[in-house]
Amino acid sequence: MHPLLDTLKTKFPEAVLAVQEDKQRGDLSVRVAAPRLLEVARFLHDDPVAAFDHITDICSADYPDDQERFEVIYHFLSLPHGIRIRVKARVTEEHPVVPSITSVWKGADFMEREVYDLMGIKFSGHPDLRRILMPEDYDEGHPLRKDFPAEGRGWRSRFDFLPRLDEAPVAETGRDIPEAEKRVFRTEPQPSSSSRRTEELLLNMGPQHPATHGVLRVVLELDGERITKATADLGYLHRGVEKLAEGLAYMQIIPHTDRLDYVCSMTNNYAYVRTVEKLLGLTIPERAEYIRTIVAEMQRIIGHLFWLGTQALDIGAMTVFFWTFREREVLLDLFEKLCGARLTLNYFRIGGVDSDFTPDLVERLRAFLKDFPAHIEEYETLLQTNRIWVARTKDVAVISAEDAINFGLTGPVLRASGVAYDVRKLEPYGAYGKVDWEVPIGKNGDTYDRYWVRMEELRQSSRIIAQCLDQLPEGPIVADAPKIIPPPKAHVMRDMESLIHHFIIFTQGFKPPKGETYCATEAPKGELGFFIISDGSPRPYRMKIRAPSFVHMGAFDHMARGYLISDIVTIFGTYDIVMGECDR
């Protein structure tokens, strides 16, 4: 057994109910008594033996038949030791209360709110326990509970807020917003002794605002031009992908993951497919691994180019936007050639990829890589030393390394603060372990460093692709597992056995073993993780998406406080948020 689990057992004989090590998948999990969760969490965070300083995710599951119905599942990562742990606590339906861990990890704030919103578990000691993805006045229950129908309650036409065609439109009159409704957005009132009258200004930004990169609403509390509190209001693009996935076979979820981070959809495919393969214990052919790495890095280039263009556009540099989209277009054309779509690609399959690289495609990709470094330098001549860009990004939205880890930030946002955490290095997957590349790290953790990190990542990505193209081995692109992967089309029509497998896989789906696993993948935005609980049926019992944009929004208030109102679009942009992923 892992020494850490022994330590936990001897240290907390009453609080730790059970420990388990999944040797095959390399997962550690601990079950603790819910009331004593906080002391175990504090030990895990503080003790140098454990040092789980990074909060990855909080998830919940519903088992209606059990006596203790709900399970809250925490994922922590220890950056010094490089291990992950899963802490689980069970609560009953009558008393669904778990102590909040926001005092240990600040990033738990948004995650606990999400669990409260979707599963209805209360967190005692949470500073601001409100709904986050669903509307605040939503009173139909908690959607991820198993007794909540996936179709929702009631017909869409019965919603009274939808305008009806046969009725005259109601004239909207302005109304005063009561003070009680404003209170949630305000900071704590400061008692002022002077006779000078001060008043905070509440400014509503979004959801229809071009600089918020989607439908995000932020309520800013201003003192003059300074932001004193920024409350993000999420959920305008909530589609309930996690609930939807519970009703779909494993294979059918892949096109739905395309729609999470629609700027670079293949990385979502990759993250999901890897989790299912980890659950199944499936190994992938060498060529498929290389192809996956290549396309994932192409998507990273697309994602960072998109980010660079829009961030520069937000700040006022128009030319960069056109130039980055020019290069992006070349890659999108390659994807169109490869799998027939430009944005929602649906290219990955469980056990491999959909179609093979043709020599023509490899040639075009090589030609692109040859020109690409010159293009990066072109962007840099426009931005790197430009005084407007430097003034707008240097020392804006600074976050220290400790805070960044404590909030659970990942990806370029974390690396700009000087933390060399990259899933591709920590847990190498694909062909990342076989090629030579570096993790760029910033120093100050400001917007300029995040820009610099992403520019360096563009160079590293093209390095990885070039090496992968050189090493690209021959061979099959799909694993040989007839019970899981549909047989090739030509066999289906000739061979009785293949036909039977084909029918079974497409009608029933395959059945992975009972179990649960978390698998993290480095997406352009940060660590994109999928947590799947399988009950042995062809559909996931619970699928949780650890979306980096959502976690990053949790640190938004912390990073925006004290800056000018004109910096707010820079701060949005620096996370590279995509609301499709944030709201899921």
Partner 1 sequence: MTKFTAWIKTIIFYEILVGMKATLSHLLHYKPITLQYPHEKRTLPDSYRGMLALLRYDDGTEKCVGCDLCEAACPSRVIKVFSAEVPGEPTKRYAKEYYMDMTRCLFCGLCVDACPVDALGMTREFEWAVYDKRQLRLNKEQLLAIGDRSYPVREKRLEFQHPNVAFFNVAFKGLPEKES
Q: Of 251, 350, 413, 569, which lies in the binding site for partner 1, with binding defined by CB under 8 A?
A: 251
> How many residues at the interface with partner 1, by CB under 8 A?
37
Contacts of 498 (CB under 8 A, 6+ apart): 482, 487, 488, 491, 492
| Residues 6+ positions from 489 with CB-CB distance below 8 Å | none
For the residues of 524-579, what is the DSSP string, one character each?
TTEEEEEEEEE-SSSS-SEEEEE-HHHHHHHTHHHHHTTSBGGGHHHHHHHHT--H
Q: How far is the CB of 271 from partner 1 (least distance, A)?
A: 17
Chain centre distance of CA 214: 16
Among 26, 340, 373, 513, binds partner 1 (CB under 8 A): 340
Based on the number of CB atoms within 10 Å of its own CB, is 32 exposed (0-12), middle (13-18) or buried (19 or more)? buried
The reply to whether 253 sits near partner 1 by the rule CB under 8 A is yes
- Least spacing, CB of residue 199 vs partner 1, in Å: 40
Q: Does 254 bind partner 1 (CB under 8 A)?
A: yes
Closer residue to partner 1 in complex, CB, 7/386: 386
336 part of the interface to partner 1, by CB under 8 A = yes
Q: What angle do CA 410, 416, 418 make, to 5 degrees?
A: 95
Binding residues for partner 1 restricted to 380-419, rule: CB under 8 A: 381-382, 385-387
**Cβ neighbours for 546, distance < 8 A, ≥ 6 positions apart:** 56, 57, 75, 518, 520, 527, 528, 529, 530, 531
Chain length of the chain: 584
What is the smallest separation between the CB atom of 355 and partner 1, expressed in angstroms?
Answer: 7
Stretch that binds partner 1, among 29-37, 114-122, 224-232, 330-338 (CB under 8 A): 330-338
Q: Is 332 in the site for partner 1 (CB under 8 A)?
A: no
**Quick one: DSSP state of residue 169?**
P
The yes or no reply on residue 239 touching partner 1 (CB under 8 A) is no
User: What is the nearest approach in angstroms of partner 1 to the Cβ of residue 361?
Assistant: 10
248 vs 414, beta carbon nearer partner 1:
248
Binding segment (CB under 8 A) for partner 1, from list 7-15, 219-227, 255-263, 298-306: 255-263
Q: Which is nearer to partner 1, 173 or 385 (CB)?
A: 385
Report CA Rg, the chain: 24
Contacts of 457 (CB under 8 A, 6+ apart): 300, 304, 412, 440
CB of 259 to partner 1, least distance (A): 8
- 506 near partner 1, judged by CB under 8 A: yes
Which CB sits closer to partner 1, 259 or 434? 259
Helices (H) and strands (E) in the chain, counts: 21, 15
- Asked whether position 252 contacts partner 1 by CB under 8 A, the answer is yes
Chosen residue from 503, 536, 537, 562 binding partner 1 by CB under 8 A: 503
Window 124-163: residues binding partner 1 (CB under 8 A): none
Stretch that binds partner 1, among 18-26, 173-181, 186-194, 336-344 (CB under 8 A): 336-344
Is the Cβ of residue 35 or residue 255 nearer to partner 1 in the bound state? Answer: 255
Contact region with partner 1 (CB under 8 A), list: 27-35, 102-110, 131-139, 376-384: 376-384
Asked whether the CA dihedral 236, 242, 244, 250 is positive or negative, the reply is positive
Residue 249, phi then psi, degrees to nearest 5: -70, 160
- 103 in contact with partner 1 (CB under 8 A): no
Q: Smaller CB distance to partner 1: residue 336 or 402? A: 336
Q: Does 309 help bind partner 1 (rule: CB under 8 A)?
A: no
Angle in degrees, CA 234, 541, 524, rounded to 5 = 45
| Closest approach of partner 1 to the CB of residue 255, in Å | 4
403 contacts 109 by C-beta, under 8 angstroms: no
Q: Across-strand partners of 61?
A: 71
Q: Is 504 in the site for partner 1 (CB under 8 A)?
A: no
Q: Does 10 bind partner 1 (CB under 8 A)?
A: no
Q: Which stretch binds partner 1 (CB under 8 A): 5-13, 163-171, 245-253, 574-582?
A: 245-253
Q: How many CB atoms lie within 10 A of CB 35?
A: 14
258 near partner 1 (CB under 8 A): yes
187 and 229 Cβ atoms separated by less than 8 Å: yes
Tally Cβ neighbours within 10 Å of residue 332: 17
8 A C-beta contact, residue 288 and residue 347 = no
Grouping H, G, I as helix, E, B as strand and the rest as coil, residue 512 is coil
**Nearer of residues 92 and 358 to partner 1, judged by Cβ:** 358
Residues 6+ apart with CB under 8 A from 137: none
Interaction of residue 337 with partner 1, rule CB under 8 A: yes
With b meaning 16 or more CB within 10 Å and e meaning fewer, what string describes 468-507?
A: bbeebeeeebbbeeeebbbbeeeebeeeeebeebbeebee
State yes or no: residue 492 binds partner 1 (CB under 8 A).
yes
Q: Which of 21, 286, 378, 427 binds partner 1 (CB under 8 A)?
A: 378
Q: Does 67 bind partner 1 (CB under 8 A)?
A: no
Q: By CB under 8 A, which span of 30-38, 247-255, 363-371, 439-447 interacts with partner 1? A: 247-255
With CB under 8 A as the contact rule, the residue among 79, 83, 332, 341 that binds partner 1 is 341
Nearer to partner 1 by Cβ, of 228 and 252: the residue is 252
In the complex, least distance from residue 316 CB atom to partner 1, rounded to whole angstroms: 13
Alpha helices in 166-281 (DSSP H): 179-183, 241-245, 253-258, 265-280
| Binding-site member from 156, 158, 175, 494 for partner 1 (CB under 8 A) | 494
Alpha-carbon gap, residue 203 to 226, rounded angstroms: 12
Beta carbons of 328 and 310 less than 8 angstroms apart: no
Q: How far is the CB of 139 from partner 1 (least distance, A)?
A: 28
Minimum CB separation from partner 1 for residue 157, in Å?
A: 15
Over the range 273-289, which residues count as b (16 or more CB within 10 Å of their CB) and which as e? bbbbbbbbebebbbbbb
What part of residues 471-490 is at the interface with partner 1 (CB under 8 A)? 486, 489-490
What residues does 16 pair with on adjacent strands? Answer: 32
| Site residues, partner 1 (CB under 8 A) | 248, 251-256, 258, 319, 326, 329, 336-341, 344, 346, 355, 378, 381-382, 385-387, 486, 489-490, 492-494, 499, 502-503, 506-507
